[in-house]
Structure 1
Amino acid sequence: MHKIFFNDKPIILTTKLEQEEGFKNYLLKTVDMGEVIRKLNKSKVKAVRLIGKNEDKLLRKFLKKLPNVVAGGGKVYNDRGEILFIYRNNKWDLPKGKIEGNETIESTAIREVTEETGVCGLEITKPLETTYHIFKRNGRYKIKITYWFEMKTSFKGNLYAQEEEGITKVEWLDKAQVEKALENSYANIKLLI
């Protein structure tokens, strides 16, 4: 089973047809993504299930439904065990961004964290879950596929918010602050934390 988010409502890819209040089922093979987006956007539907036959092919078939944007990002820890967060579009988020040219996804993640926050000396410690969400850009819906990495750094310098990307704050948050930030964050970020 996979979850793709649209406005923090899940689109669940599954092989099981279930009837449940607040959910809408569609066949993955024939689904009109415009209809799914309208249903999630303008109704009380809590989630949508896209039903397919083969568990191994669900995600691949879904990703063909809309243009894909590939991104890399980081869940960065400092020496005090705090996590690096950005504040963008009135929500707490983790730094991430689109792949450029022929760079690897790991290079993308490190570059984007540095560009969006000013933090240097990043070292990837392990890959994390890949997340998916649908967004609208220039009047078209797209699927953002974000490859996340846990990182560490001993960086002690000043943090820098990349304002041209809409980032207004960059902060190291301790455990209690992370819990508070997650109250005003995205479903994908909650999954990673």
Structure 2
Amino acid sequence: MAQKYRIYINEKVILLTESEPKKTEHYQKIDSQTFDLKIIYTWILAHKSAYFYVLCKDAKAFLKQIKESVIVIEAAGGLVKNENKDLLFIYRNDKWDLPKGKIEKGETVKEAAVREVEEECSIVVSKLGVKICKTYHVYISKAQVVLKKTYWYKMKCKGQNKLRPQKEEGITDVRWFKPNDIEAILANTFPSIMDVLAVMDLIKDKPVPLSE
């Protein structure tokens, strides 16, 4: 099966793929030979299209090249369920999000995922489950193009914890949602979070980038 990776820039997506997308009319093609994330970052933001793709022989190797060309920050977080199978979401930067944060020096990915979720939501993770997926998004920090790679895990929480948002991290709300009642999340979240929810089969009608 052909490999695919998605890199997000705000609401826009760059698809790294080993085969042409099925719905090419939705995509703007970028030449793999001249691809430079530092150069095309502002071009993509200014472009009218929301979807872009790069056709490459080895998508994993191409992603590695991109990582070597920019600053990479690794983060970890989780999709938490409680005993009632409700899902935990945070509200930050005017959007619904999942708790996550940067991996600290000397910390494993799993340790970071649990710590960040507990700190941002004031809960105790009772069980760390399997990895859901990895997501990638790009932003500018200190005039540098940064690629953030985030590892996502399944998690469980027991007891009726009193949720408390970590306000110093810009979080203004923490809330449990029923799996069938996340329309508000889907209407106002980041594309990378949509990817996590899609992997967990929580999205019925997947948007174009998820059905290339």
TM-score, normalization by structure 1: 0.92
Shifted more, 96-105 versus 17-26: the winner is 17-26
Aligned mates of 1:112, 1:13 — CA distance in 2: 29
Give the partner amino acid of 1:68: V
Q: 1:179 aligned to 177, 180, 183, which one?
A: 183
Give the partner amino acid of 1:37: Y
Q: 1:10 aligned to 8, 13, 21, which one?
A: 13
Q: 1:148 aligned to 126, 130, 152, which one?
A: 152
Deviant stretches of 4+, over 4 Å: none
Aligned mates of 1:82, 1:62 — CA distance in 2: 37
Aligned residues: 193
The reply on whether 1:51 has 2:55 as its aligned counterpart is: yes
Give the partner amino acid of 2:5: H
Aligned mates of 2:168, 2:33 — CA distance in 1: 39
How much does 1:48 deviate? 1.9
Deviations 1:62-105 (A, max 9, x none): 22232100000010000011111000000000000000011110
Structure 1 runs not aligned, ≥5 long: none
Give the partner amino acid of 1:149: Y
How much does 1:22 deviate? 5.1
Percent identity over the alignment is 33
Q: 2:109 aligned to 82, 85, 105, which one?
A: 105
Counterpart in the other structure of 2:120: 116
Give the partner amino acid of 1:179: E
The reply on whether 1:126 has 2:126 as its aligned counterpart is: no
Give the partner amino acid of 1:121: V
Q: Please tell me whether the aligned partners of residues 97 and 193 of structure 2 are also in contact (alpha carbons under 8 angstroms).
A: yes
- 1:122 aligned counterpart, secondary structure: strand
Q: Please tell me whether the aligned partners of residues 76 and 84 of structure 1 are also in contact (alpha carbons under 8 angstroms).
A: yes
C-alpha RMSD over aligned residues: 1.8
Counterpart in the other structure of 1:64: 68
Give the partner amino acid of 1:4: I
Counterpart in the other structure of 2:139: 135
How much does 1:17 deviate? 5.5
Structure 2 runs not aligned, ≥5 long: 198-212
Aligned mates of 1:37, 1:188 — CA distance in 2: 17
How much does 1:175 deviate? 2.2
Aligned mates of 2:105, 2:58 — CA distance in 1: 33
Q: Please tell me whether the aligned partners of residues 121 and 154 of structure 1 are also in contact (alpha carbons under 8 angstroms).
A: yes
Counterpart in the other structure of 2:38: 34
How much does 1:29 deviate? 4.2
TM-score, normalization by structure 2: 0.84
Give the partner amino acid of 2:116: E
Give the partner amino acid of 1:3: R
Aligned mates of 2:180, 2:20 — CA distance in 1: 39
